[in-house]
Amino acid sequence: MTGYPLSRPDLNGREEEYVLQALRENTISSLGRHVGEFERAFAAFHRLPWAVAVSNGTAALHLALHALGLGPGDEVIVPDLTFVATANAVAYTGATPVIVDVDPASWTIDVDQVARAITDRTRAVVAVHLYGMPARMSTLRDLATGRGIALVEDAAEALGARDQGRLVGTAGDAGCFSFYGNKIVTTGEGGMVIAASARLDHRLRHLRDHAMSAEHRYYHDEVGFNYRLTAVQAAIGLAQVERLGSFLDARGKIESWYRRELSGARGVVFQHAPAGSDPVCWQFTCRIEGSTRERRDWIIEQLREQGVDSRPALRPMRSLPMYAGPTLPNAQRISDEGISLPTFVGLREPDVTAICGILRRLV
């Protein structure tokens, strides 16, 4: 479309140079050196020694949950408002997703609801940092540690965000990231798992490559997966991580422009950061308070006709047939009223002003 797309990758760094390196070295498979270099750069950003590159963000979640031993008979608590991959990854292991509501201000998993949902079958909690907003990881970590429950972070949308000064993805047993084309760092498709221990890192690497023995080729001691990332994708990711700081700065400015331009607009409500949280701007998303889903969808269509791409907020998991259950009010309200606006590096202040001018006339 002409006008303003919802997202657009910035590939103006050394992406082409590194991809050509891989091609010229004839090392484009998962064995190429760029995979290890990408993992080390990503781990270094998070000040940890372990990061395991995988084929996509969903694979990252599934691999982490499987490596932590989740299986049939287990329960895993997840938020109602998230992308479906969060719940699906739990289901892939044979465990049961237990879906709880989100906080009405931050839109992330409600810690009090988590505490009430814990049973003797609960083995893990998956905290989702929705739209770049950190969940209350310090509180969740205390809760999980005290109950002997694993804590997994779905940080697909929040690379670089912090809770209580700590980068998301580093507070739980495993942190999972996505590098899909619209993410803060992209490899087209791709993902990463940060492990909290050398033991978990080793297990993730073993399972990622069909659980093949390091000593005896083609000997597999359990059922594993083909969740490898190619060197070509890793080459793009390596160049992206080199500019991660500038990406975050640019997105922070975009969010500040949106908040300024929409402040006081009729019905517009922003996602709110709890004390001690430092969110990042993945897709700027706000609520049109009091709107119906139909009215919100009409606004999206009107924006599209005027050259502005946008998206509805994510659907609650309980509204989907495989996870259907009683409506949870906060998640449902945010889903019905939420709208994501164009957010990508390269968006300028006058662009945001123009987009907000159109939206203000519609709400």
Query: What does 142-176 look like in DSSP terms, one character per residue?
Result: HHHHHHT-EEEEE-TT-TT-EETTEETTSSSSEEE
Contact 193, 54 (CB under 8 A): yes
Average pLDDT of span 319-329: 98
* Contact between 66 and 89 (Cβ < 8 Å): no
Q: Give the bridge partners for 79, in sequence order.
A: 100
**Other beta carbons less than 10 A from residue 219's beta carbon:** 10
* pLDDT, averaged across the chain: 97
User: Where do the domains of the chain lie, and which CATH numbers do they carry?
Assistant: 15-242 (3.40.640.10), 244-362 (3.90.1150.10)
Tens of pLDDT along 155-211? 999 999 999 999 999 999 999 999 999 999 999 999 999 999 999 999 999 999 999
pLDDT cut 90: percent of the chain above it:
96
Residues found in the chain: 363
pTM greater than 0.85: yes
> Can you spell out the DSSP letters for 255-319?
HHHHHHHHTT-TTEEE--PPTTEE---SS-EEEETT--HHHHHHHHHHHHHTTB--EEPPPBGGG
Q: Please report which confidence band the pLDDT of residue 2 belongs to, taking 50, 70 and 90 as the band edges.
A: low
The 10s digit of each residue's pLDDT in 18-72 is 999 999 998 888 887 999 999 999 999 999 999 999 999 999 999 999 999 999 9
- Contacts of residue 31, Cβ cutoff 8 Å, sequence gap at least 6: 231
Give the closest residue to 174 by CA, choosing from 205, 208, 151, 140: 151
Spatial distance between the Cα atoms of 229 and 123, rounded to a whole number of angstroms: 29
> Using one digit for the tens of pLDDT, what is the confidence trace for 215-260?
888 999 999 999 999 999 999 999 999 999 999 999 999 999 999 9
DSSP tag of 109: B
Q: Average pLDDT for residues 112-137, to the nearest whole number?
A: 98
pLDDT of 31: 83
